[in-house]
């Protein structure tokens, strides 16, 4: 009785698909409101961003349909090929002429294609295939034994042992830095979450948190001075951090000497010394990167986030307008098409249809809207984990986590930036922001996952 079509759609997760459509449609309606122009009132007018976005949605759905009629083995089989193609595109884009100081776009008339968006698909597939074939991430030898920051000692052996994994992620990282595109680079670090899930040393997350704290403190005091207590010696902020680290080290030394069993002491000392060295290296790296590598506008964004500079009408213009738009939405919002800031006729919030689309949504829908949106998004992210965890195929599971991690990073940085919890990094909000490349790449990521998941029962006959 069952025809082939039935079989294809038999195990599709309709809830997941519904989430896709809800988000995409809300996104288009928000773009429509944000850029509404009385001269082009039609929803489908291709001169408008909402019209183009609908076109991109159509293309995305077309791609999604193709994916559904592909053999899922095809996706698995050609994962490396897809990866390789996207990497070639990333190389090729470096030879275009720069737009706004970065070589990120292939332009076709008024349309542009951003290969780094598609590279995410390639990396996700390649990573899934590689881990599937090798069945696990190989552990660094000392990883489980060491504590805290000393975990980082494991990084080098890890990379040595998982050279291929490191390359799969490292190549696109290096290529987008050459564009340069810091935002996409940060998104590529999301794959660390996948590695974590697949067995890489668990303390990586703890390490990241501690590293973030140290980095923040370092940046806060980077160019400050203070007087050493009871003296007239003037010290730099960096020296202060080092002194604090020294004091902490001494305390831990005493703790270890008095409270740790003798036979464990040697390991503990090693871990402590390792941690201290890593911490000191981190302080120097962060400070060096801040002063030497970051460009001035990036420094400004970090300083703004940390509150070191306050310039609401100058350097902090974007973020100040974005926050004012969101904050003025109130509990219920100003109503659809009633935004007075995040609206293209007002132009107070820059890039309000792309990176700052959340401002329009939030100003018009208020806290209720913000809450609904975040719940929807969180639900989708958790759904991705559930999908990943119900797979018998390692490939699909890894791929699901890749998709989840990418979406999560975009969500975290995009919303965090709009409400002033993250520095201004120009990356889109998946399914919501205007943009053809992102619309298509996120849709393809999504539809591959939907396709793979629909075959979860047949994959390992």
Measured over the CA atoms of residue 160, residue 164, residue 165 and residue 168, the dihedral's sign is positive
Tokens 């190989």, residue? 138
Question: Do residues 150 and 275 touch, judged by C-beta distance below 8 A?
Answer: yes
Residue in 111, 160, 177, 205 binding another protein, rule: CB under 8 A: 205
State yes or no: residue 316 binds another protein (CB under 8 A).
no
Show Cβ contacts of residue 414 under 8 Å, excluding neighbours closer than 6 positions.
355, 358, 427, 428, 429, 433
State yes or no: residue 421 binds another protein (CB under 8 A).
yes
Nearer to another protein, 20 or 358 (CB): 358
State yes or no: residue 325 binds another protein (CB under 8 A).
yes
Mark residues 274-313: x for contact with another protein by CB under 8 A, - for none: --------------------------------------x-
User: Could you say which residues in the range 380-409 bind another protein, by CB under 8 A?
Assistant: 381-382, 385, 388-389, 401, 404, 408
Counting Cβ atoms within 10 Å, is residue 151 exposed (0-12), middle (13-18) or buried (19+)?
buried
Residue in 50, 52, 197, 451 binding another protein, rule: CB under 8 A: 197
State yes or no: residue 207 binds another protein (CB under 8 A).
no
3-state secondary structure of 228: coil
Measured over the CA atoms of residue 63, residue 64, residue 68 and residue 73, the dihedral's sign is positive
Two tokens at 95? 């030879």
Q: Is the peptide bond before 180 cis (omega within 30 degrees of 0)?
A: yes
State yes or no: residue 321 binds another protein (CB under 8 A).
yes
Question: Do residues 368 and 50 touch, judged by C-beta distance below 8 A?
Answer: no
Nearer to another protein, 220 or 412 (CB): 412
3-state secondary structure of 107: strand
CB of 132 to another protein, least distance (A): 14
Residue in 198, 223, 298, 315 binding another protein, rule: CB under 8 A: 198
Cα–Cα distance list, 23 to 32, 216, 273 (Å): 14, 34, 49
CB of 346 to another protein, least distance (A): 5
Residues at the contact surface with another protein, assessed by CB under 8 A: 193, 196-199, 202, 205, 312, 320-321, 323-331, 340-341, 345-348, 362, 366-367, 370-371, 374-375, 377-378, 381-382, 385, 388-389, 401, 404, 408, 411-412, 415-416, 419-421
């Amino acid at each position: 009785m069952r025809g082939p079509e039935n079989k294809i759609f038999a195990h599709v997760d309709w809830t997941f698909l519904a989430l896709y459509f809800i988000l995409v449609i809300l996104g288009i309606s928000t773009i429509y409101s944000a850029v509404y122009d009385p001269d082009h009132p039609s929803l489908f007018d291709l001169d408008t961003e909402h019209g183009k976005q609908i076109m991109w949605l159509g293309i995305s759905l077309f791609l999604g349909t193709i994916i559904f009629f592909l053999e899922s083995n095809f996706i698995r089989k050609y994962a490396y090929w897809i990866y390789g193609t996207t990497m070639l595109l990333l190389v090729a884009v470096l030879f275009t002429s720069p737009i706004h100081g970065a070589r990120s776009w292939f332009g076709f008339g008024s349309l542009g294609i951003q290969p780094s968006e598609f590279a995410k698909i390639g990396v996700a597939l390649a990573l899934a295939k590689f881990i599937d074939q090798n069945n696990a991430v190989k552990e660094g030898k000392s990883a489980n034994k060491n504590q805290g920051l000393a975990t980082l000692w494991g990084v080098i052996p890890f990379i040595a042992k998982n050279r291929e994994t490191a390359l799969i992620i490292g190549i696109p990282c290096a290529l987008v830095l050459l564009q340069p595109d810091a935002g996409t680079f940060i998104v590529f670090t999301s794959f660390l979450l996948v590695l974590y899930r697949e067995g890489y040393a668990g303390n990586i997350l703890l390490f990241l948190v501690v590293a973030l704290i140290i980095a923040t403190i370092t940046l806060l005091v980077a160019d400050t001075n203070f007087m050493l207590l009871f003296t007239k010696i003037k010290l730099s902020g960096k020296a202060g951090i080092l002194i604090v680290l020294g004091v902490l080290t001494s305390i831990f030394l005493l703790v270890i000497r008095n409270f740790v069993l003798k036979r464990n002491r040697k390991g503990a000392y090693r871990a402590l010394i390792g941690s201290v060295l890593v911490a000191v290296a981190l302080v120097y790296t962060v400070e060096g990167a801040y002063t030497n590598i970051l460009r001035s506008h990036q420094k400004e964004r970090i300083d703004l986030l940390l509150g070191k500079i306050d310039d609401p009408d100058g350097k902090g213009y974007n973020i100040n307008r974005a926050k004012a738009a969101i904050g003025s939405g109130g509990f219920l919002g100003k109503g659809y098409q009633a935004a007075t800031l995040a609206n293209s006729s007002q132009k107070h919030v820059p890039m309000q249809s792309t990176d700052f689309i959340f401002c329009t949504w939030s100003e018009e829908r208020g806290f209720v809207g913000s809450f609904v949106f975040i719940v929807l998004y969180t639900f989708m992210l958790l759904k991705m984990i559930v999908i990943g965890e119900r797979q018998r195929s390692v490939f699909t599971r890894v791929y699901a986590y890749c998709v989840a991690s990418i979406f999560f990073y975009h969500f975290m940085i995009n919303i965090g930036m709009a409400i002033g919890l993250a520095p201004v990094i120009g990356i889109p909000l998946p399914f919501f922001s205007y943009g053809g490349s992102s619309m298509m790449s996120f849709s393809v990521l999504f539809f591959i996952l939907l396709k793979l998941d629909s075959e979860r029962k047949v994959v390992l006959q």
